[in-house]
Structure 1
Amino acid sequence: MNISELRKNSQRKFYESEIGRIPKEWNVAQIKNVGEIITGNTPSTKHPEYYGDTYMFVAPGDIGSSKYVRKTEKYLSGKGFEISRKVPQNSIMMICIGSTIGKIAIASEMLTTNQQINSIIPNEIYNNEYVYYALNYYFNKIKESKIEKQAVPIISKSKFSEICIPHIEKQEQRKIADILSAWDKAIELKEKLIEQKKEQKRGLMNKLLTGKLKLSGFNNEWTLKRLKEICIRIIRKNNGQDVPVLTISSLSGFLDQSERFSKVIAGKNVEKYTLLKHGEFSYNKGNSKTYPYGCIFRLEDYEEALVPNVYISFSMNGVDSNFYKYYFEAGLMNDQLAAIINTGVRNDGLLNLNADEFFDITLPVPSEYEQKQIGEILDVATKEINLHQQELEALKLQKKGLMQLLLTGIVRVNN
C-alpha cells in the first residue's frame, strides 16, 4: 500500500458497532441472516449398515488447521447418508460443543456432521470463504461470552445464530477472501514442505543411527553396550534454588508446567522432583500416539530444571550425547521396550517398567568420532526444519495481521 492509499484510508469514517469499529459503509449481519444453519446428527451405531466408505461424516477431530475438510475418520453408507442432515459443498462448519469450540472448516463436498457441529449454508449475497474468515476472526473476539459454562462447554444454536460479522459488498468479500486464501495457500505449502523434511530426517535417522548407511571412511563394526555402561543415573534433588518446574510432552519435549497446565501442578511434591542440568536426559514412561513406549528428551533450553521423580533421568558418559539424542528421538529402543514392559499401564498412567530394566537395554556404540559425524549431519537436517518452522510462524503472524486489517476495514480492497 502506498502513501496516497494510506492517506485515503485515514480519511475514511468509522463508527462503533456491536462488533467494534468498522467503516460507515459497512453493516452488521447475524449468522442467521447470512444463511441457513444446520445442526448435525449421528446415525445409530446399532445399525452398522449406516456406516461405510461413501460419504464423509465430520466429527470435531476432523476439523483441524486446514481450511477445507477433505477426509474424515468415519464415513457413512448411502443408507446412513439418507437419514442424516446433509451439508452442501462450500458450507462453513463450526464446532459448538466440547473442548475445541470455535474451530472452523469448509466442506469440500456434500457431507454430513455429528451433533457437535453447526453448519452455515451461505445465501447468494455472501462469499463462503469470506464467511469462513469473518466468523473465525469475530467469534474469537467474543468466544468467552458465548460459551455456556458447564461440564462440557457448549454454544447453543440460538447463541450461535446471533454471532455477528460485517455485511459488505460481495465484490469486497471476494477480494478479502482471495488475499487471505493466498496466505493460507502459502501456509499449506510450507506445512507440506516441513512434513517432507521431517520424513526425510526420519529416514536419515533410521539409516545412519542403525548402521544401515555408513559414512565414507567408517568401516568398523559397531559394538553393543547396555545403557547402564554408557550413562550415569541422575537422582539429585533440588538444592533450594528457584528453578523452572518442567514436564515432558511427547510432541514438544520439555515444557514449563505453568505454561502447559496454567499452573505448577507439582505442589509439595516438588521437593521430591529430580534436579536436571543442561544436556542431561529424562525418560517419560507415559505412553502416547507418537511414542507408545515412552519418550526420552535432552534438556537443552534450560541450565537447570526440576522434573518429576517418576521420570528416569540420566546423563551420557564417554559417548557423544548428540548421537544418542537422535537415537532416542527416532524411537529405536521401542522393540526392546515393548519386550520388557508389562502389559497395560499403572493407575498413574505410566508404563510398567522399572529403572533396572530400562538401563539394561542394549544400544549400538560406534566410534566416538563416527557418533559425532552422524550427530552433526542430523543437526543440519534439524536446523533446516527449524528454519522452515520459523518461516511458517511468520506467515501465520502475517495472516493474523491481515485479518485484523481487512476484516475491520482499516485497509479496504473494494477498488
Structure 2
Amino acid sequence: MSRVPRIRFKGFEEDWEQRKLGELADIIGGGTPSTLNLEYWDGNIDWYSPAEIIDQIYVDRSQRKITELGFENSSAKMLPEGTVLFTSRAGIGKTAILAKKGCTNQGFQSIVPYSNKLDSYFIFSRTEELKKYGELVGAGSTFAEVSGRQMGNMQLMIPKTIGEQHIIGVLFSTFDRLITLHQRKLEKLKTIKKSMLENFFPQNGEKTPKIRFSGFIEDWEQRKLGEIVKEVNRVDENSNAPVMMITANDGFIEQSERYSTDNAGKSLKKYILLKRWELAYNHGASKIRPFGSCFALTRAANIRIPFVYHCFLALEDNPEFLEHTLNGKNVENQLRKIVSSGARMDGLLNISFQEYTSIFIRCPIRKEQDKIAILIKSLDHLITLHQSKLEKLQKIKKSMLESMFV
C-alpha cells in the first residue's frame, strides 16, 4: 500500500502515517434538554439537529436555540469553532464546520480536532470517506447509528505534519468556495428565468403579459394548437442521423446516454426523422413535468427520435416561443383535464396527437414572439455556461480528492 499521494505540494516528502481518528480528535456526542420545560428553550446557545445539515460548508446559526439552564440540564456539550459536525444516525455522514461555538442533539458524533494534530478542513474534505465508514459500522444495528467509540477507531492515512494537512485543506476550501459561487450564480439565473417565464407570458386567463417589450400593445390571440401546427411523421430507414430522446430536464439528448442504441432494435426503422425547428412532445410523465414536455430542435439539422413522440412543425409561429408556451402552467392545466387514466404500461400518458393539439394557447404577433425567444435563449446560454463551469470545477475537485489523499 502506497504511503504517499500521487499529487503533492512541493517540499513535503515524508510518508503519510496510519492513525486512528480518536488519536487526532475528540469525538463528542450531544443531547436534548426536556422539551416540556420552556425555560430550557429559545435562549442564545446554538443547538443543531441533523435535519439542518444539508450541503452547507459552515454553520453559524441553528434553527432552534437553548438557554444556559437547558444546556446545564442536558447531555449536550459545548463544541468549539472549527468542530466538524458529523451526523451519526439515519442519514449518517452529513458534515459541516462550526463557524462559532455551539452544541448538538444526540444525532451527532462530532469531530473536535486537536490543534496540533488535525486540520478541520483537511478532515472535512474527507467527508465521503467518513460517511462510508460510518454507514459500514453503523449498518449492523436495528437502527442505523454509529457510536463515538466506533468513529474514534476509524483508521486514516494522514500527513505527519499539520502544515501539509493545512495546505491541502486550504486548496479544497478554495475549490468549495468557487463551486459555491458558481452554484449561487446558476441558481440566480434559473430564478431570473423562472420569473421571466411568469411575467413575459399571460397568466390565469389574462390577454397580455405583465412585462412586454417596448412597442407591443396588442392583446395576445387565443389559438387552437392544431390550427397553427402540422403533424410530422416522416421516416427514413436509411438515415444516419443521430438517435435521440427527450428528457424533461435537458430536452434532446443522445439516446445512448441513457440506453444502448440497440435497445430500439427493429423499431429504429420506424423512428421519426425530425428536422431543425420542428417540435416533439414526449408524453411521458416526470416529476418536474407530470404531463410531458415539448422541445424544439435547434442544435442539429436532423435527428431520429422514438415514433411514440408527437411531432409537428409550426406553420408561422416561432418554434422556440411555442416550446416555452407548451411547457407552461396554462397548457399543463389543460392537459390535466385531457389525460384519461394516467400512464400506460410503457410509461406514456394516454393522450393522442389529436387530443394534444386540441389545447388552446395565447400568442402575440411573430415579432414579439421572436424577441421573447431570443431573450430566453440568451438566458439559457448563460445558464449552460455556468452549469458547464460548475461541472468542470466539480470534476477537477473529484480528481484532486482521488490524487491528494492516500
Whether TM exceeds 0.5 here: the answer is yes
* Alpha-carbon distance change, 95 to 310 in structure 1, aligned in 2, over 3 angstroms: farther
Q: What amino acid does structure 2 have at the position aligned with 1:311? A: Y
C-alpha displacement of 1:193: 1.9
The correspondence of residues 348-367 of structure 1 with structure 2, limited to 5 A, is: 348-367=346-365
| Closer/same/farther in 2, CA of residues 390 and 122 from structure 1, 3 Å limit | same
TM-score (ref. length: structure 1): 0.67
Structure 1 pair 37–333 and aligned structure 2 pair: CA distance change class (3 A): farther
Q: 1:67 to 1:235 in 2, by over 3 A?
A: farther
Change (3 A) 1:328 1:294: same
CA distance in 1, matches of 2:241, 2:283: 23
1:193 and 2:191 matched: no
Q: Deviations over 1:72-103 (max 9, x none)?
A: xxx9xxxxxxxxxx9x89546599999xx9x9
Q: Which residue of 2 aligns with 1:27?
A: 16
Q: 1:239 to 1:180 in 2, by over 3 A?
A: same
Whether the 8 Å contact between 1:202 and 1:330 is mirrored in structure 2 is no
| Cα distance between partner residues in 1 of 2:385 and 2:296 | 20
Mapped partners of 2:401, 2:259: distance in 1: 29
Cα deviations by residue, 1:99-132 (Å, 9 ceiling, x for unpaired) = xx9x964376866899xxx977365232232123
- Counterpart-to-counterpart distance in 2, 1:70 and 1:271: 60
Give, in whole Å, the separation in 1 of the partners of 2:60 and 2:258: 31
1:17 is aligned to 2:3: yes
Cα 1:384–1:21 change in 2 (3 A) is: closer
CA shift for structure 1 position 336: 1.0
SS of corresponding position for 2:249: coil
Amino acid at match of 2:179: I
Aligned counterpart in structure 1 of residue 272 of structure 2, from 271, 274, 285: 274
State the identity as a percent.
26
Between structures 1 and 2, the one with greater strand share: 1
3-state SS of paired residue (2:337): helix
The aligned amino acid for 1:296 is: C
SS in 2 for 1:283: strand
Is the alpha carbon distance of 1:281 and 1:309 closer, same or farther for their aligned partners in structure 2, counting shifts above 3 Å? same
CA distance in 2, matches of 1:244, 1:69: 48
Deviation at 1:307, TM superposition (A): 1.8
Equivalent residues in 2 for 1:5-404 (5 A)?
Answer: 16-17=2-3, 24-29=13-18, 56-57=49-50, 67=57, 90-91=83-84, 105-106=95-96, 121=111, 123-124=113-114, 125-134=117-126, 136=128, 164-210=156-202, 211-212=208-209, 213-261=211-259, 264-396=262-394, 399-400=397-398, 403=401
Contact kept in structure 1, 2:325 and 2:361, CA below 8 Å? no
3-state SS, counterpart of residue 263 of structure 2: coil
Shift of 1:345: 2.3
State whether residues 272 and 306 of structure 2, in contact with CA within 8 Å, keep that contact through their aligned partners in structure 1.
Answer: yes
CA apart distance, 1:361: 0.7
Q: CA deviation at 1:386?
A: 3.0
The alpha-carbon deviation at position 163 of structure 1 amounts to 7.0
Q: Hey, what's the Cα distance between the residues in 2 that align with 1:268 and 1:227?
A: 32
2:380 & 2:244 partners in 1: Cα distance?
A: 23
CA contact (8 A) 1:134 1:165 kept: no
What SS does the corresponding residue of 2:125 show, helix, strand or coil?
helix
Opposite residue 18 of structure 2, the aligned amino acid is A
Counterpart CA distance in 1 for 2:84 and 2:182 is 26
* 1:218 to 1:187, Cα distance in 2 relative to 1, 3 A: same
Query: Which secondary structure does the structure 2 equivalent of 1:314 belong to?
Result: strand
Gaps of 5+ in 1: 1-14, 39-53, 76-85, 147-155, 410-415
Cα distance in structure 2, aligned partners of 1:312 and 1:131:
52
Structure 1 Cα separation of the partners of residues 313 and 245 of structure 2: 18
Q: TM-score of the superposition, structure 2-length normalised?
A: 0.69
Task: Please tell me the residue identity of whatever aligns with 1:167.
Answer: P
Native 8 Å contact 1:58 1:112 kept in 2:
no
Whether the 8 Å CA contact 1:92–1:132 is kept in 2: the answer is no
The alpha-carbon distance between structure 1 residues 403 and 323, as it changes in their structure 2 partners (threshold 3 A), is same
The question of whether the paired residues in 2 share the 8 Å contact of 1:55 and 1:112 is answered with yes
After TM superposition, give the deviation of residue 359 of structure 1 in Å. Answer: 0.7
Q: Distance in 2 between matches of 1:281 and 1:32?
A: 57
Structure number with greater Rg is: 2
Q: CA offsets per residue over residues 329-381 of structure 1, 9 Å max, x none? A: 44541111112123432222222322211010111121111211222222232
The count of residues paired between Structure 1 and Structure 2 equals 355
Q: Displacement, 1:70? A: 10
DSSP 3-state at the match of 1:221: coil
